Amino acid sequence: GGVADRMSGRLLDGRELASHLRRELAHRLEKLVDPEREAGRPQLAILRDGRSEAAAVYAASLERAARSVGAGTRLVDAVEAGTERGLEATVADLNAEAGVAGIVVAQPFGDVAAGRRLVELVDPAKDVDGATPTNAGRLARGEPAFVPATALAVIAILEAYGVEVAGKRAVIVGRSAVVGRPVASLLVARDATVVICHRATRNLARETRRAEILVAAAGSPGLIRPEMVNRSAVIVDCGINAVPGGIAGDVAFDAVAPVVRAITPVPGGVGPVTPMMVLRQTIEAAERARNAQPSEASISSSGTDPSMNPSRSIVS
């Protein structure tokens, strides 16, 4: 008797995809490990500011995901590392350490400027949450790049459920550097026609109604109402908004789900897939570090990486 039963379309289940990815990544990771000596087991370093609850929650989800695929973790807390200088030195050490495949600075970290300064020190080849300006620039230019995990999760869901993107009109609500913009770049790289909406968009409903793929990344609970979507739309809801009694997406799910082709739930949609994308990029970084000559620190995973374009529908 849940909403899913009354849907005309289908539920794009992020938990199901996350567990599929977990098995796939665990398998891929084991190939990197020398069973004799535990050597080569990639580690994910997570820097977080324990004073921020949001950063702590994200860090914890990354730790869990890392453990679930067999990656090691290194947790660095801002308070323990002490001064900003101390943190900068820590990042430099992690950049240099061969066993550390990936580094994530869970945001918010300290104040905004301090968090940004720290991120800019991360080696782009270990920037497995696509947070550095270098990777953002590469992504914007359509070059191989590490990509913010939430944006990758959107694409992973569309691919896994066999949603065609090429030639489709995709509308994104939100233009942040962590979600809206990178989603737009990834969809453009996959030949969608992309519209990006924000607070200055004059008639939001007019734009969203034209979406064949609608990505909500506004941080506004229930913003997308049924009269703002069309029946053929596939909706991916990135919103994670605290509301009385739990968390809600940016889409008024109960009202919208019955009138669209497909939709991600919140919770259980983009959320569980996101940490798996960090781990996927961590394993990619480890594979590259092992295979490439140290001089060619080329990285990948955006539009042009074949591993990102498997036309494998796990559940279509």
* Cβ proximity of 47 and 106 under 8 Å: yes
Q: How far is the CB of 63 from ligand NDP (least distance, A)?
A: 15
Residue 121 interacting with ligand NDP (CB under 6 A): no
CB under 8 Å to 167, separation ≥6 — which residues?
191, 192, 193
Beta strand pairing call for 72-77 and 43-48? parallel
Residues with Cβ within 8 Å of residue 181, at least 6 apart in sequence: 136, 140, 175, 196
Complex with ligand NDP: residue 90 or 208, whichever CB lies closer: 208
Quick count: other Cβ atoms within 10 Å of Cβ 121?
Answer: 17
Q: Which residue(s) pair with 50 in the sheet?
A: none
Binding mask 147-186 for ligand NDP (x = CB under 6 A): ---x----------------------xxxx-xxx------
The distance of closest approach from Cβ of residue 253 to ligand NDP in the complex, given in angstroms and rounded to an integer, is 14
Pull the structure tokens for residue 122. Answer: 């991360």
Cα 59–Cα 240–Cα 253 angle in degrees, nearest 5: 150
Cα dihedral sign, 265-268-270-273: negative
Each residue 196-215 as x (binds ligand NDP by CB under 6 A) or -, in order, gives -xxxxx--x-----------
Residue 101 touches ligand NDP, criterion: CB under 6 A: no
Q: Of 49 and 287, which has the nearer Cβ to ligand NDP?
A: 49
**Contacts with ligand NDP in 267-286 (CB under 6 A)?**
270-271, 274
| Nearer of residues 100 and 106 to ligand NDP, judged by Cβ | 106
Torsion of CA 291, 297, 299, 305, to 10 degrees: -60
Which CB sits closer to ligand NDP, 151 or 289? 151
Strands 234-237 and 262-263: parallel
Q: Which of 217, 251, 263, 286 binds ligand NDP (CB under 6 A)?
A: 217
Residue 95 or 201: the one with the smaller Cβ distance to ligand NDP is: 201
Q: What is the DSSP string of 22-68?
A: HHHHHHHHHTTSBTTTTBT--EEEEEE-TT-HHHHHHHHHHHHHHHH
Residue nearest to ligand NDP (CB): 176
Please identify, using beta-carbon distances, which residue of 204 and 297 lies nearer to ligand NDP.
204
Query: Minimum CB separation from ligand NDP for residue 157, in Å?
Result: 11
What is the closest distance, in whole angstroms, from the C-beta atom of residue 21 to ligand NDP in the complex? 14
State the residues that interact with ligand NDP by CB under 6 A.
150, 173-176, 178-180, 197-201, 204, 217-220, 223, 238-241, 270-271, 274
